[in-house]
Structure 1
């Protein structure tokens, strides 16, 4: 009787090893050997499952994008009040520290998006999913009268996502230019200006 293939398991182990290697070394200095050492395998064994390091990193990116989107979507769906949903979105979109694994991974791997269309496509999907989620919250708030939007929902949503991305970069630098609380307040201020709803005041009063 043939032994069951462990290819899927080995690929998952390599993706996990590559994820840790990116977090330790950063994407710019990462070598195939770093991933092999992290996985306690030879470089030849890594290449057996992934023909190139870029193929492996693309899987790391795909998983990170999916985790980030799903986590936010679940958090938003769990809260019926649009104001609380918007608060939750803002609070789950920023890295909690310079060691925030998921956000750091996305920012590190994002550097490849400047040169590689496949990586770029993943980030376009990430951006569009976040914009769609923000838009649905803003539209729900406008429909129920708790938000008075100053622009159309899509424009505000795009601005919120771009602000998140820029603030996340500042929060994860070796010497951050602002802290998490300051970044969150900037997002909340823009959201308040765009929706006519004082989200901080609402949160404090409930």
Structure 2
């Protein structure tokens, strides 16, 4: 039975939101959490800050999520998924393996560290006390490795790449270099993203027997 506000009042004395409203409110709270974390960092993000950002009560935040940790997890998950999807689209739209690899590196080491990228790295310290984040981070790493491996496979099949090591090893090294260089600005090392990308492409050129430069 539906209430006048569109909620499901089938549970006696409890107004349960209709499914579409429930999903919409969860999405709004995740967006609010991303904005707060983007401004203040994950460690400074709490229920009250998110509630104020979303213009709801603290109780409302926890009504739509089993816990605040659940909301934080959903937020980080969404950020990581968007980051991967952005790179997947780049790979899908560029048929040339040399240009594709260069564009993937460009996306992996941006000129400026976005709030989303910063949030992704700030979530890493949570792994010790909240192991549910481990599969999430493993998944994003493995999928990025897969993007590079498939790109290398195409290049090798076309004869433009001559891999000097096993393909997955090369792909993992590229992802590892990206992750390391993305951390540099966060710890105060500022040599410039252009330099970092050139360094990664230098390794890729050696590993693949093909000169690869930024567009």
Q: Distance in 2 between matches of 1:115 and 1:96?
A: 32
2:42, 2:119 within 8 Å by CA — same for their partners in 1?
no
Q: Distance in 2 between matches of 1:84 and 1:125?
A: 25
**Bigger radius of gyration:** 2
1:63-99 Cα offsets, whole Å, 9 max, x none, are 112111111111111111110111111111113313x
Q: What is aligned with 2:14?
A: none
Q: What is aligned with 2:11?
A: none
1:131, 1:154 within 8 Å by CA — same for their partners in 2?
yes
1:94, 1:168 within 8 Å by CA — same for their partners in 2?
yes
Matched residue SS, 1:146: coil
Q: How far off its partner does 1:105 sit?
A: 2.0
1:142, 1:149 within 8 Å by CA — same for their partners in 2?
yes
Q: Distance in 2 between matches of 1:114 and 1:131?
A: 24
- Which residue, 97, 104, 109 being the options, matches 2:118? 104
Q: Distance in 2 between matches of 1:137 and 1:113?
A: 30
Matching of residues 30-69 of structure 1 within 5 Å: 30-69=45-84
Structure 1: which 5+ residue stretches go unaligned?
A: none
Q: Distance in 1 between matches of 2:178 and 2:203?
A: 11
User: Greater helix percent: which structure?
Assistant: 1
Q: What is aligned with 1:181?
A: 194
Structure 2: which 5+ residue stretches go unaligned?
A: 8-17
* Structure 1 vs Structure 2 CA RMSD: 1.6
1:97, 1:172 within 8 Å by CA — same for their partners in 2?
no
Q: Distance in 2 between matches of 1:58 and 1:66?
A: 12
Matched residue SS, 1:147: coil
Q: What is aligned with 2:181?
A: 167
What's the TM-score, normalizing by structure 2? Answer: 0.87
Q: Distance in 2 between matches of 1:171 and 1:91?
A: 16
The total of aligned residue pairs comes to 200
Q: Distance in 2 between matches of 1:29 and 1:120?
A: 21
Q: What is aligned with 2:166?
A: 152
Q: Distance in 2 between matches of 1:177 and 1:114?
A: 28
What's the TM-score, normalizing by structure 1? Answer: 0.91
Q: How far off its partner does 1:18 sit?
A: 0.5
Matched, 1:89 2:108: no
1:96-123 Cα offsets, whole Å, 9 max, x none, are 313x132112112222123322111100
